[in-house]
Structure 1
Amino acid sequence: MAEKEQAKFTVPAYAVSEGKPGKKRKTVTVQDKEIKREFGVAFQRWRELRDLKGLKSDSSMALFLLDR
């Protein structure tokens, strides 16, 4: 019988920090991806127009567009 008995041991519990909850993952939807793609295209066009007009900053570009 002694041969069949296995050594018993306890598995320590994982440490849980009480101050910070676990990091949650954001679910990315098809709409999120489409919005991000559209923003990327618009941003590229913004930069091209800014450079074409010889403007130095995004704020000067915004003022240029508002004045038009």
Structure 2
Amino acid sequence: MAEKEQAKFTVPAYAVTEGKPGKKRKTSLDKQRNKTRVNIGVAFQRWRELRDLKGLKSDSSMALFLLDR
């Protein structure tokens, strides 16, 4: 009896997209999100420390906390 050979193929470890390696494509969600971002620069570390000190879980809750003060 002749044994049938199974077709061999490789599965890539990750999907390959066009463009430069390591670059993600911008989605419409990214574009929307970028419209609401605020860059606080060097104050970022202080922002996180205060957020943790007050026990707040998200940056949006921190922003609301500060606006209410």
TM-score by length of 2: 0.41
Between structure 1 and structure 2, the one with the greater Rg is 1
The structure with more helix, counted as a fraction of residues: 1
TM-score by length of 1: 0.42
